[in-house]
Amino acid sequence: VAETFRVIQGAMSEEYVRTTQGVFQFELSGEEGGTWYIDLKTKGGSAGFGKPPVTADVVMSMSSADFVKMFT
């Protein structure tokens, strides 16, 4: 999960932020579970562990294994 978020963070761009304008929060269970987020609303965007810096537009709950499958 952490590696997936590192890749997501590395792919961030102003264009993605400008066109998406959404904050996604993931409540993951299992290995590397917990609260993670992708912020494609705040300038520059960000992704990582913990609650997003602004209120999430979408909250998804799933296993960490399913999250990794979804992003690969």
Q: Span 4-32, mean pLDDT?
A: 95
CB half-sphere exposure, 48, CA atoms < 13 A: 6
**Which residues have CB under 8 Å from 21's CB, separation 6+?**
40, 41
Rounded to whole angstroms, the Cα distance separating 72 from 50 reads 22
Q: What share of the chain has pLDDT > 70, as a percent?
A: 100
- Grade residue 63 by pLDDT with cuts at 50, 70 and 90: very high
pLDDT of residue 14: 93
Taking the domain 1-70, which CATH number applies? 3.30.1050.10
Determine which helix (DSSP H) or strand (DSSP E) holds 46, and give its type and residue range. Answer: strand 46-49
pLDDT of residue 67: 96
Phi, psi of 54 (to 5 degrees): -130, 165
What would the pLDDT profile of 27-55 be if each residue is shown by its tens digit? 999 999 999 999 999 999 999 999 999 99
